[in-house]
């Protein structure tokens, strides 16, 4: 069997990320994200990709071009060669969304073993959102500052009452695992969170999206623009270009755009019906979620919506 030539390898590092190792990036009022450790970077991704594409790749395509190709074509496995370990402090309700991402390794602060972190996320008077009418999962618009101030005051009082009762039980000797039932969901928790870059991009794509909740979006934004940008700048750039700031078109969307450009009213009408757009007799219209989402895409393309309001 032919012997492999010994190849001296250099450890891949990201000097820009090294500069901020361990430094917390503040998120919300008392949360943070800090990098504890990492493995690899842009170079390790292209290194891994070249194993599958062969040495010839180097001559025809540079690292940035190759990375953009990989992200554009969802060739994800080379990104799994990089790992990052973060230390995060997050309100428990936000953490509940975060922890749904199963492809990470997690170690969370234990409120069975330790006294809970006496800090809870507070919403500022201008940050109280109204329930969205159409999207049951979302919010739209804000309460006025006077109402917001009252809500913030109530929230502080409630959080204080919860912590007072929790501390009273702890002092009485009630088990920590039981006393913690009194803690509000806004209480901060901390965790070590380790994930590979491929799955991190998936997390960021879902959690930076405008429909994700504000709080988790704030964390995802910091991880993307403070951490990922320093760690793997070419991947960050390609991710923003091809995964984040893109729109995806269904076959029907595509046909609708063609019909709008061709100005074909009967095709527009038939496609609109197939998307759940209904014009009722009394002039009332009903737009399905699919129609509303298409309207958002058309607005980004500077095209007029074919649906009447
Ligand atoms: C805006 C928004 C609203 C949401 N609303 C709700 C809600 O109302 N209720 C709710 O329960 N959840 C909700 N979620 C959570 C969502 O359903 C996912 O659980 C979460 O986003 C994690 O995504 P994921 O499974 O793709 O990620 P990960 O768990 O990180 O998995 C990454 C990928 O690995 C693969 N994978 C991982 N585990 C498995 C498996 N066991 N089997 C097959 N493939 C696997 C899948 O391809 C998956 O996409 C919401 C998420 C978002 C972003």
Residue 2 lies in a domain: no
Residues 204 and 59 occupy one common structural domain: yes
Cα of 101 from ligand 1 centre, angstroms = 6
Residue of the CA atom closest to atom 26 of ligand 1: 101
Residue 289: active-site member: no
Residue nearest to atom 41 of ligand 1 (CA): 102
Do 33 and 110 lie in one domain? The reply is yes
Q: pLDDT truncated to tens, each residue of the chain (309 aa)?
A: 556 666 677 889 999 999 999 999 999 999 999 999 999 999 999 989 888 666 555 655 689 999 999 999 999 999 999 999 999 999 999 999 999 999 999 999 999 999 999 999 999 999 999 998 877 778 889 999 999 999 999 999 999 999 999 999 999 999 999 999 999 999 999 999 999 999 999 999 999 998 899 999 999 999 999 999 999 999 999 999 999 988 889 999 999 999 999 999 999 989 988 988 877 766 777 788 888 899 999 999 999 988 877
Distance 99 CA to ligand 1 centre (A): 10
CA 100 to centroid of ligand 1, rounded, Å: 6
CATH of the domain at 88: 3.30.1360.170
Q: Whose CA is nearest to atom 2 of ligand 1?
A: 212
Q: Are residues 101 and 205 in the same domain?
A: yes
Residue whose Cα lies nearest atom 17 of ligand 1: it is 100
Tell whether ligand 1 has an atom less than 6 A from the beta carbon of residue 77. Answer: no
Judge if 257 and 228 occupy the same domain. no
How distant, in Å, are the alpha carbons of 63, 151, 301 from that of 40?
A: 14, 46, 37
Task: Tell whether 148 and 100 lie within a shared domain.
Answer: no
Q: Is 202 in the pocket of ligand 1 (CB under 6 A)?
A: yes
Based on the domain organization, do 76 and 225 belong to the same domain? yes
Q: Residue 2 has what pLDDT?
A: 56
Give yes or no: residues 136 and 35 share one domain. no
Whether residues 174 and 48 share a domain: the answer is no
Task: Kindly state whether residue 1 falls inside one of the protein's structural domains.
Answer: no
Q: Residue 289: count other Cβ atoms within 10 Å of its Cβ.
A: 11
Q: Are 121 and 141 in contact (CB under 8 A)?
A: no
Q: Are 198 and 76 within 8 A, CB to CB?
A: yes
Instruction: Indicate whether 131 belongs to any domain.
Output: yes
Q: Which of 68, 89, 180, 207 is catalytic?
A: 207
Q: Which of 158, 182, 206 is the last residue of a domain?
A: 182
Indicate whether 35 and 111 sit together in one domain.
yes
Residue at which a domain ends, from 229, 244, 259: 244
Residues 59 and 97 in one domain: yes
* Cβ–ligand 1 contact at 103 (below 6 Å): yes
Given 167, 182, 197, which residue is the final one in a domain?
182
Would you give the end-to-end CA distance of the chain in angstroms? 73
Distances (CA, A) of 145 to 114, 128, 295: 37, 9, 31
| Per-residue pLDDT at 58 | 61
Say yes or no: 159 and 178 in one domain: yes
Going from the Cα of 142 to the center of ligand 1, the distance in angstroms, rounded, reads 29
Q: Which residue range forms the structural domain that includes residue 266?
A: 251-300
Tell me whether residue 204 is in a domain: yes
Q: How many domains does the chain have?
A: 3
Verify that 109 and 215 share a domain, yes or no.
Answer: yes
Calculate how far, in angstroms, residue 181's C-alpha sits from the geometric centre of ligand 1.
Answer: 27
Cα gap 254→276, rounded to integer Å: 16
Is residue 309 assigned to a domain?
Answer: no
**Ligand 1: which residue has its CA nearest to atom 49?**
202
């Amino acid at each position: 069997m032919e012997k492999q030539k010994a190849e001296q390898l250099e450890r891949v590092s990201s000097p820009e990320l090294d500069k901020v190792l361990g430094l917390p990036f503040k998120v919300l009022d008392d949360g943070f994200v800090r990098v504890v450790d990492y493995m690899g970077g842009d170079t390790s991704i292209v290194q891994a990709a070249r194993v599958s594409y062969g040495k010839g790749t180097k001559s025809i395509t540079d690292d940035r071009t190759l990375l953009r190709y990989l992200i554009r074509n969802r060739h994800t496995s080379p990104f799994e060669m990089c790992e990052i370990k973060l230390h995060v402090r997050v309100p428990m309700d936000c953490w509940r969304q975060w922890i749904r991402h199963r492809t990470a390794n997690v170690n969370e602060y234990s409120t069975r073993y330790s006294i809970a972190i006496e800090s809870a996320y507070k919403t500022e008077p201008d940050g109280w959102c109204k329930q969205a009418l159409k999207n049951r999962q979302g919010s739209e618009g804000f309460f006025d500052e006077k109402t917001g101030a009252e809500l913030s005051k109530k929230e502080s009082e409630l959080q204080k009452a919860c912590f007072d009762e929790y501390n009273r039980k702890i002092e009485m000797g009630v088990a920590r695992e039981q006393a913690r039932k009194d803690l509000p969901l806004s209480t901060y928790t901390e965790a070590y969170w380790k994930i590979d870059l491929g799955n991190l991009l998936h997390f960021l794509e879902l959690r930076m999206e405008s429909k994700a909740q504000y709080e988790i979006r704030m964390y995802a934004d910091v991880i993307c623009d403070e951490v990922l940008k320093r760690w793997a700048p070419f991947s960050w750039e390609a991710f923003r270009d091809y995964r984040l700031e893109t729109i995806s078109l269904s076959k029907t969307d595509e046909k609708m755009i063609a019909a709008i450009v061709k100005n074909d009213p009967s095709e527009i009408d038939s496609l609109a019906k197939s998307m759940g757009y209904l014009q009722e007799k009394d002039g009332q219209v009903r737009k399905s979620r699919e129609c509303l989402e298409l309207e958002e895409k058309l607005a980004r393309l500077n095209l007029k919506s074919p649906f009447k309001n």
